[in-house]
Amino acid sequence: MRIEACTTDAAIDDAIAILQQLWTDTDTSFIREFIDEEEYHLFGLYDDNLRAVAGCSIQRVLHHRTHAWIHDLVVDQAHRSAGYGSELLSFVTDWARSNECAVVALAATLENDSAGEFYIENGMQRWGYVFEQEC
């Protein structure tokens, strides 16, 4: 098992296929455009083939100081519950620490109970709520 940055077109194409398992209604070109942003770091966990991806950025906000924000952490549906998500989350935490981040943070939808349970089982704490309104 290895984790590395997804930087080649082939690796990004494979990652997009897994990301679309979470973002089912999102167009491939929009995902690629987001991945191409300079601050977005896309990591892939490989076990012969790509099994999981995590997209992160380093941000600063007053309540967390410098933190790593996980935009996406998706394990290929056929390979869930095999430890890949935990391994990738641990990697992101180490990556954040090496980039002098105070915390790792993310948002999960209310209806995704399994994601909430996964993050709590992996040592994360529920900190607050995310509110949004369409403009």
Q: What integer pLDDT is reported at residue 129 of this predicted model?
A: 81
Series of mean pLDDT values for 10-residue runs along the chain (135 residues): 95 96 89 88 96 96 86 96 97 97 92 91 89 89
> Quick check: 53 and 72 in contact, CB under 8 A?
yes
> Quick check: 43 and 5 in contact, CB under 8 A?
yes
Taking the C-alpha atoms of residue 50 and residue 71, their distance in angstroms, rounded to an integer, is 18
Q: What angle do CA 99, 64, 71 make, to 5 degrees?
A: 65
Q: What integer pLDDT is reported at residue 81 of this predicted model?
A: 94
Q: What integer pLDDT is reported at residue 37 of this predicted model?
A: 84
Q: Which residues pair with 106 in a beta bridge?
A: 70
Taking the C-alpha atoms of residue 96 and residue 86, their distance in angstroms, rounded to an integer, is 15
Residue 90, CA distances (Å) to 53, 62, 87, 93, 106 in order: 13, 25, 5, 5, 14
Predicted TM-score of the model (pTM)? 0.91
